[in-house]
Amino acid sequence: MTAETVRLSGVTKRYGKAEAVRDVSFALPAGQCAALVGHNGAGKTTLIKLMLGLIRPSAGGIRVLGEDPAAGAFAARRRLGYLPENVSFDAALTGRETLAFYARLKREPVAKVAALLDRVGLGAAAARRVGTYSKGMRQRLGLAQALLGEPRVLLLDEPTTGLDPEVRQSFYGIIEELRGRGATVLLSSHALTELEDRAERVVIMNRGVLVADGSLGELRRLARLPVRLRVTSGNGTFAGAPPDWLGPVEGWRRLDDGRAAEIACAGEAKMAVLRRLAEAGPGRVSDLDVVPPTLDELYAHFLRSQEAPAP
């Protein structure tokens, strides 16, 4: 088993003069859940289409499960699951027929279809025409077809749009299970807060260029974004400026009429500030929350740093 399932090296894709993706390189190992983040038009969908071999790169190379996906060999595609953004199906066929059709194309036993439909919660609706399905149900059918054939690589484009929270939980449950069995999962999404606890790896795209790639922890260190500490005053007031006992901090903001405050400090200074807060005693500080920079903030930071000229 190769440790690496997907590798992009120096991939560029041009449509006419417009560059959809420019010089993107990254590799995904087996058993990793990675998030592909970027706003609309950042090149996420283009990257996924390139990995599927639906379009050919203008420059650079792509290997998926050891094959060039656009070469026309289909061995890798049988072990690949794809859920497109806004998935749609032939409205005239039933859920079961639709899934059976895709199973046949993947050379999977059609008998597995019923179990798969049950797994995504469509068992009761299997005999209904897809045209009568709600958006969430179509999305679940889309997920079911992506799961056909025990995929080694799952490419999911905006997978949770239109799913209600309960289905969303079961969806991430299924993803986690596949990942545990060694599948590579690449999620592209806008819902960053949702990806935060799921993705071990984040790839940030902006205007076709890869701007950041790493685990959330690595990105936090790279971004050097301040950590925020939310403290509640023990005696009921944090009046005016930061108190002297706190020492130097990057930011200080009064909250809740002075009953609480938000302190911003650099990641390296965090422990020193925490120690001082602890030593300040219950009279001064009665409660404390540490808020690390969110994925949203990291994303915004990396976009800003790319817009600004390199230092």
Partner 1 sequence: MRNVLVAAAREVRAGLRNRWVLATTLLLAALALTLSFLGSAPTGTVGVGALDVVVVSLSSLTIFLVPLIALLISHDAIVGEMERGTMLLLLSYPVARWQVLLGKFLGHLAILAFATVLGYGAAAAALFATGAAAPAESWAAFAAMVGSSVLLGAVFVALGYLVSALARDRGTAAGVSIGLWLLLVLIYDMALLGLLVLDQGRIIGGGALDALLLLNPTDVYRLFNLTGFANVSLFSGMAGLSASATLSPPLLLAALAAWVLVPLAAAAAAFSRREL
Residue ranges in contact with partner 1 by CB under 8 A: 15, 49, 52, 54-55, 72, 74-75, 77-78, 80, 82, 84, 86-90, 92-93, 97, 101-102, 104-107, 129, 142, 145
- C-alpha span between 16 and 289 (Å, rounded): 51
Of residues 183 and 298, the one with the C-beta less far from partner 1: 183
Nearer CB in complex with partner 1: 26/102: 102
Residue closer to partner 1 by CB (options 89, 299) is 89
Which residue, 42 or 87, has its beta carbon nearer to partner 1? 87
Instruction: Name the residue nearer to partner 1 (CB basis): 64 or 216.
Output: 64
Q: Least CB distance from residue 105 to partner 1, whole Å? A: 4
Q: How far is the CB of 14 from partner 1 (least distance, A)?
A: 11
CA dist., res. 92 & res. 129, Å (int): 6
Which is nearer to partner 1, 104 or 221 (by Cβ)?
Answer: 104
CB of 73 to partner 1, least distance (A): 9
Shortest approach of partner 1 to residue 278 CB, angstroms?
55
Residue 154 Cβ, how far from partner 1 at the closest point, in Å?
Answer: 12
For residue 307, the minimal CB distance to partner 1 (Å) is 29
